[in-house]
Amino acid sequence: MADRLVLPGVTLIDGSGRDPVQNAVVVIDGGTIVAAGPAVEVRADPDSRVLDVAGATIMPGIIDAHCHLGGASFPDEDHWVLEDDRYQAIASAAQARRMLQHGVTSVRDISVNGTRLRTAIAKGLIDGPRIVACWRGLSRRGGHGDARGVPADMVRASHPWGHVADGEAEVRAGVREVVKQGGECVKVWASGGGLHDNEPEDVQHYTLAELRVIVEEANYAKVPVAAHCECASAARDAAEAGVWSIEHGEDLDEETIALMAAKGISLNPTLVLLTEWLEQTSLFGGPYGKPYIPGVTDLPDDPEEVRRMHHAHLSANLMAAKNAGVRIGVGSDSYCTDLTPFGPQTLNEVHALVRAGLTEMEALVAATRSGAEILRIEDRVGTIEPGKVADLLVLTENPLDDIANLSQPNMAMIFSGGRLVPAGG
């Protein structure tokens, strides 16, 4: 294939949130976008190769700001520690490839494999998205990144994404370990996550003092902090301490939202994951604890009513943050192969943002420009403009007409760094 490719006659959604450009042309050379805009303004070089994509829609590759390429097969915390590390390392390469084959060209990953996957992908050894790696995240003892049913030394050696640290001295050392291992962002579980009765979502796990130490130490290393916060107090203290993003964040009070907007703290609402989690709770016959809807203590018996309340709560919470000007990202939270499929789950999350109240364009911006900003790689990706890396999706249908058009079968071409990658189921 010629180095210089011309993609004419397309509808261009550039990721910035600007109106789409009809009858646009995108030109890429090697791995870089060299021109993008209305056909009358873009002149193709005579040596270029012109691709027949007329009528298609082109948008930036999707950015998933929260996933776990830990290679875990099952949604069970003891299993994911006990499962063979080498098998998980191999499986994580397949998880990464699958994300790319669904148009996900960059991710922020929280897993022990991420720093190594990042290198293997960057070297071209394996196919996968560009990775901003967090390595393992910090969890208090008995928290969401620990495991109850296996010995502590096994957790330390084999947890795919958790690193147990208690108290200010240990969390400081934990941040240093993350940085030593190549982490470019520090993940912390500031609240429980509902894996079992000892760590329900509405319990704060790290003190404000511990969170401040984590942020302070991360600042020394010039890396941001991403905080899992499922209860109001954890989110408030994380925002107060100065984290860079709040993950899940389904219980944000007005004060926290105002703080997030003022400090530029992003929100990854992970709506699909939280909805799946609800389905995995005891009410629905799953292994996890009780359904969690912030502020609701008396749940109705009717599962349909619980689902409706859950959706209404998540949507209102997200829209309050969005309307206050908080940057919203797309986080699949894909963490195991059999429950949270790598790739499809990211696309579903973009769809879910629209069901919760964002416009199609706002959801696409969350998946592109905002994602790049959350990953702090907006100088390279996230929008289609000259000088940026050629991470592009060529879609047969326009996702602004119906967000469901952002689907793998509609991806006629996926470019990652200017290289055509095969779409895959």
Q: Which residues of this protein are in contact with Zn ion, per CB under 5 A?
A: 333
> From the centroid of its chain, how far is CA 328?
11
Report the residue number, 76 or 333, with the smaller CB distance to Zn ion: 333
Of residues 237 and 333, the one with the C-beta less far from Zn ion = 333
The DSSP element (H or E) to which 189 belongs, if any, is strand 186-189
The runs of H, that is alpha helices, within 264-380 are: 271-279, 303-323, 344-355, 360-367, 369-375
> Which pair of structure tokens corresponds to residue 38?
């209305």
User: Least separation, in Å, of the C-beta of 335 and Zn ion?
Assistant: 6
Shortest distance (Å) from residue 228 CB to Zn ion: 7
Residue 169 tokens, joined: 């001295």
In the complex, least distance from residue 106 CB atom to Zn ion, rounded to whole angstroms: 17
Collapsing DSSP to helix, strand or coil, 396 comes out as coil
For the bound state, the minimum distance from the C-beta of residue 162 to Zn ion, rounded and expressed in Å, comes to 10
| Closest distance to Zn ion from the beta carbon of 32 (Å) | 32
Ranked by CB distance to Zn ion, the top (closest) residue is: 333
Strand partners, 226: 187, 245
Closest CB to Zn ion among residues 217, 333: 333
Q: How many residues does the chain have?
A: 425
Query: Judged by CB, which is closer to Zn ion: 127, or 247?
Result: 247
Q: Which helix (H) or strand (E) holds 373?
A: helix 369-375
Q: How far is the CB of 66 from Zn ion (least distance, A)?
A: 6
Q: Which CB atom, from 24 or from 273, has the smaller least distance to Zn ion?
A: 273
Nearer to Zn ion, 204 or 334 (CB): 334
Question: If phi over 0 gives left and psi between -120 and 50 gives alpha, with beta otherwise, what is residue 20?
Answer: beta
34 contacts 45 by C-beta, under 8 angstroms: no
- What is d(CA 170, CA 172) in angstroms, rounded to the nearest whole number? 5
151: Cβ–Cβ under 8 A, 6 or more apart, which residues? none
Q: Where do we find the tokens 């511990």?
A: 210
Q: At what angle do helices 303-323 and 254-263 cross, to 10 degrees?
A: 40
Q: Which residue, 77 or 333, is less far from Zn ion as judged by CB?
A: 333
Question: How near is the Cβ of 341 to Zn ion at its closest, in Å?
Answer: 15
